[in-house]
Structure 1
Amino acid sequence: MQIIIPSDVFPPSGKGGAAWSSHALALALQARGHRIKAVVPDRGGRGISAYDALGVPALRVGYAAPRLPIIQNYFRHEKFWKPLANAIIAAAVGRPDVIHAQHVQVAPAAVLAGQRLGVPVVVTVRDHWPWDYFATGLHGDRIPHPAASWASLASDLPVRLGPLRGTLALPAIPYMLAHLRRRAAFLAQADAVIACSSYIARRLHGIVPPERIHVLPHMVDQEALSTTIATPSQVQIAGPMLLFVGKLEPNKGAGLLPAIFRELRGVPLPAYTLLIAGDGGLRKWLEQELGRLGVAVQFLDWAGHDEVLRLMARADLLLFPSSWGEPLSRVLLEAASVGAPILAMPTGGTPDIIHDGVNGVLAATPQHFAQRLADLLTHPEAARRLGAAAHDLARQRYAVPVLVPQYEALYRRLREERA
Structure 2
Amino acid sequence: MIHNDYLELGGEYFSVRSEAEGLRAAGVDVELLLASNSQIAESNLWQKVTALTLQRDAYGLVSDAIDRYKPDLVHAQNLFPALGAGAIRALADAGIPWVRTLRNYRLACIGGDFRLDGDDCYLCESSARAHAGVRRRCYRDSRTQSIGAVAYARAERRASASHQPSAYLVLSRWMVSALQPVLDGVTVHVHPNIVPTASVAPAPKSERRFAAAFVGRLASNKGPDFVIEVAALRPDLQFAIAGSGPLAKQLETARPNVKLLGEISHPEALKLMANSVATLVPSRWDEPFGRVAAEALSVGTCPIVLARGGLPDIVDGLDDSLVQASLDPRQWAESLGTLCSLTDARYSRLTEACIRVASERYSASALTASLIRIYETVLPR
TM-score range normalised by the length of the shorter chain: 0.7 to 0.9
Q: Distance in 2 between matches of 1:139 and 1:413?
A: 38
Pick closer, same or farther for the CA change 1:375–1:310 going to 2, 3 Å: same
The code of the aligned residue for 1:397 comes to R
> Is 2:252–2:260's contact at 8 Å kept on the other side of the alignment?
no
- CA offsets per residue over residues 349-383 of structure 1, 9 Å max, x none? 11111137528711121422233233333446465
The 5-angstrom pairing of residues 25-44 of structure 1 reads 25-44=19-38
Residue 311 of structure 2 is aligned to residue 344 of structure 1: no
The code of the aligned residue for 1:392 comes to R
* Residue 284 of structure 1, aligned match among 230, 249, 254: 249
What residue is the counterpart of 1:269 in the other structure? 236
What residue is the counterpart of 1:17 in the other structure? 11
Pick closer, same or farther for the CA change 1:240–1:230 going to 2, 3 Å: closer
The code of the aligned residue for 1:201 comes to V
What residue is the counterpart of 1:198 in the other structure? 173
Pick closer, same or farther for the CA change 1:153–1:315 going to 2, 3 Å: farther
Residue 294 of structure 2 is aligned to residue 318 of structure 1: no
> Is 1:256–1:366's contact at 8 Å kept on the other side of the alignment?
no
* Corresponding residue SS for 1:194: strand
Residue 112 of structure 2 is aligned to residue 135 of structure 1: yes
* Corresponding residue SS for 1:7: strand
Q: Distance in 2 between matches of 1:185 and 1:246?
A: 37
The 5-angstrom pairing of residues 172-183 of structure 1 reads 174-183=147-156
- CA offsets per residue over residues 253-311 of structure 1, 9 Å max, x none? 2343333334x1xx4524x14131x22222222223x2xx334322231x333333333
The code of the aligned residue for 1:17 comes to G
* Corresponding residue SS for 2:380: helix
* Corresponding residue SS for 1:319: strand
The code of the aligned residue for 2:119 comes to I
- CA offsets per residue over residues 183-215 of structure 1, 9 Å max, x none? 444555222211111111112222123342222
What residue is the counterpart of 1:88 in the other structure? 62
* Corresponding residue SS for 2:32: strand
Residue 214 of structure 2 is aligned to residue 248 of structure 1: no
Pick closer, same or farther for the CA change 1:360–1:27 going to 2, 3 Å: farther
* Residue 404 of structure 1, aligned match among 368, 373, 381: 368
Runs of 4+ in 1 over 6 A off after TM superposition: 70-73
> Is 1:66–1:72's contact at 8 Å kept on the other side of the alignment?
no
Q: Distance in 1 between matches of 2:188 and 2:216?
A: 29
* Residue 262 of structure 2, aligned match among 296, 300, 325: 300
Structure 2's unaligned 5+ residue stretches are 125-129
Moved more, 114-123 or 90-99: 90-99
Q: CA deviation at 1:238?
A: 7.7
Pick closer, same or farther for the CA change 1:383–1:281 going to 2, 3 Å: farther
- CA offsets per residue over residues 122-160 of structure 1, 9 Å max, x none? 1101111111111111112x21122434345534659x7
> Is 2:214–2:227's contact at 8 Å kept on the other side of the alignment?
no
Pick closer, same or farther for the CA change 1:357–1:192 going to 2, 3 Å: closer
Q: Distance in 1 between matches of 2:257 and 2:50?
A: 45
What residue is the counterpart of 2:77 in the other structure? 102
* Corresponding residue SS for 1:199: helix
Pick closer, same or farther for the CA change 1:310–1:90 going to 2, 3 Å: farther
Pick closer, same or farther for the CA change 1:136–1:91 going to 2, 3 Å: same
Pick closer, same or farther for the CA change 1:207–1:128 going to 2, 3 Å: same
The code of the aligned residue for 2:191 comes to L
Pick closer, same or farther for the CA change 1:384–1:127 going to 2, 3 Å: farther
* Percent identical residues: 24
Structure 1's unaligned 5+ residue stretches are 45-62, 162-168
> Is 2:123–2:132's contact at 8 Å kept on the other side of the alignment?
no
Pick closer, same or farther for the CA change 1:134–1:40 going to 2, 3 Å: same
The TM-score with structure 2 as length reference comes to 0.82
Q: Distance in 1 between matches of 2:116 and 2:280?
A: 24
The code of the aligned residue for 2:355 comes to H
Residue 282 of structure 2 is aligned to residue 327 of structure 1: no
Residue 185 of structure 2 is aligned to residue 210 of structure 1: yes
Moved more, 108-117 or 193-202: 108-117
* Residue 337 of structure 2, aligned match among 357, 369, 374: 374
Q: Distance in 2 between matches of 1:404 and 1:85?
A: 29
What residue is the counterpart of 2:127 in the other structure? none
> Is 2:321–2:335's contact at 8 Å kept on the other side of the alignment?
no
The code of the aligned residue for 1:87 comes to L
Pick closer, same or farther for the CA change 1:65–1:319 going to 2, 3 Å: same
